[in-house]
Structure 1
């Protein structure tokens, strides 16, 4: 099946599918709207998708970059497709797009699979944001992947 999949830049025609996936994946945490994804694309941020040959989006991810930092905005994988390495492929793409920048992200404290993925990719917990996700009130860990020249330093 992975032979029929493509990791590529997000295009405008993907936005409706991605907004629907957001509703499905994050219903209690203010899922992003199509307008929000349009805004991210207009701002020139790095967004990618894994799509099937028929155009079905199986996963998506986004990264905002500044001069010295990058922030993972979102990673989502279609239910039923989780656990097949799509999240890792998307995260690897974001890490490559970040270049030599420090990377930050926030993740729900109860999202054990995502936390494990991030930790296995060199991210470490650096903070806790109480009631970060709304309207659910779920807490979030802030995680960091240092710049390549600072990895391993404390």
Structure 2
């Protein structure tokens, strides 16, 4: 059974290890090796401790973290939607994908966010991620941007003012 819990301070090292491993599983061969090699557990732990404005949930199976989701109450300025919350990260270990872990993390985050629009971005070349987000109700806005090593696609889940998700 999957438990969805807020990130506790004692979970940060394990979450960081999952962060680094899921990054490697997802982006090895998609992004340059030089970039992938920088995403280590230590790097991920430093980022987690530094970005205190993000809210993070972890998914645990048999007491072990297998995925996490981080979100912000306000999306970054480059998004085309004003006032939306932003899902910043959603990663699940490959061995646990397709088992509802990502959906459970997302549903728990959406419950906390409340009836507001939610925006996120995914690398345009990451078809599995884009497919997952569209499957759970996000729609592409038609906006793309280059915020780093690759083009990203903006997706939006309209929830404000009684709109169905």
TM-score, with normalisation over the residues of structure 2?
0.74
Tell me the equivalent position of 1:116. 131
**Native 8 Å contact 2:72 2:88 kept in 1:** yes
Q: 1:39 to 1:73 in 2, by over 3 A?
A: same
Residue 60 (str. 1) matches residue 68 (str. 2): yes
Unaligned runs of 5+ in 2: 25-34, 76-82
Q: Contact 2:115–2:162 at 8 Å: present in 1 too? A: no
TM-score using structure 1 length:
0.79
Q: What is the alpha-carbon distance in structure 2 between the residues aligned to residue 139 and residue 66 of structure 1?
A: 22
| CA distance in structure 1 between the partners assigned to 2:103 and 2:127 by the alignment | 14
Q: Does 1:129 align with 2:145?
A: yes
SS in 2 for 1:107: strand
Instruction: Give the aligned partner of residue 97 of structure 1.
Output: 112
Task: Name the structure 1 match of 2:13.
Answer: 16
RMSD of Structure 2 on Structure 1 (CA) = 2.3
Contact 1:46 1:97 in 2 (8 A): no
**Alignment match, 1:142:** 154
Corresponding residue SS for 1:14: helix
2:29 is matched with: none
Q: CA separation in 2, counterparts of 1:128 and 1:80? A: 30
Aligned residues: 142
Q: 1:18, CA displacement in angstroms? A: 1.8
Q: Distance in 1 between matches of 2:61 and 2:140?
A: 33
